[in-house]
């Protein structure tokens, strides 16, 4: 998939997240969609910056670190931790949604920087 296709897909998924985010009954769906959306924005950002990206999550943090994108690697790692369910029992759904949306916003800003 090329950079523009990743950006288009990311925007499409973001619209779905926006439809669900006001209803905390959809926390699991929002987390999953945020994870996928983030991968598309990271792919877009990497492709436009470096001319290369990873289409899978395995090794993505290492790929980012090798390109001195430590903050985005950390943000994506945090999102992976949340996705794996470690926080579902310990935080309210509203807190989880707020946190993943904050991470997504950070990744979107990064991806769209010139």
Please indicate, yes or no, whether the overall pTM of this predicted structure exceeds 0.85. Answer: yes
User: According to the model, what pLDDT value does residue 56 have?
Assistant: 64
19-36 burial code (b ≥16 CB/10 A, e <16): eebeeeebbeebbebbbb
8 Å CB contact between 71 and 92: no
Range 80-107 average pLDDT: 81
User: According to the model, what pLDDT value does residue 18 have?
Assistant: 94
Q: Give the distance, in angstroms, between the CA of residue 83 and the centroid of all CA atoms in the same chain.
A: 11
Q: Tell me: the pLDDT tens digits for 32-90?
A: 999 999 999 999 999 999 876 776 666 789 989 999 999 999 999 999 988 887 555 55
User: According to the model, what pLDDT value does residue 34 have?
Assistant: 95
- What is the Cα–Cα distance from 8 to 68, expressed in whole angstroms? 25
Torsional class of 59: left (φ above 0), alpha (ψ -120 to 50), beta (otherwise): left
């Amino acid at each position: 998939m090329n950079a523009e296709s990743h950006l288009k897909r990311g925007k499409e998924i973001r619209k779905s997240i926006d439809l669900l985010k006001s209803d905390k009954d959809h926390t699991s769906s929002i987390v999953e969609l945020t994870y996928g959306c983030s991968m598309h924005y990271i792919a877009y950002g990497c492709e436009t910056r470096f001319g290369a990206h990873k289409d899978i999550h395995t090794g993505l943090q290492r790929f980012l670190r090798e390109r001195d994108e430590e903050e985005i690697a950390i943000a994506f790692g945090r999102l992976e931790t949340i996705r794996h369910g470690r926080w579902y029992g310990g935080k309210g759904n509203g807190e989880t949604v707020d946190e993943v949306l904050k991470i997504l916003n950070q990744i979107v800003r990064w991806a769209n920087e010139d």
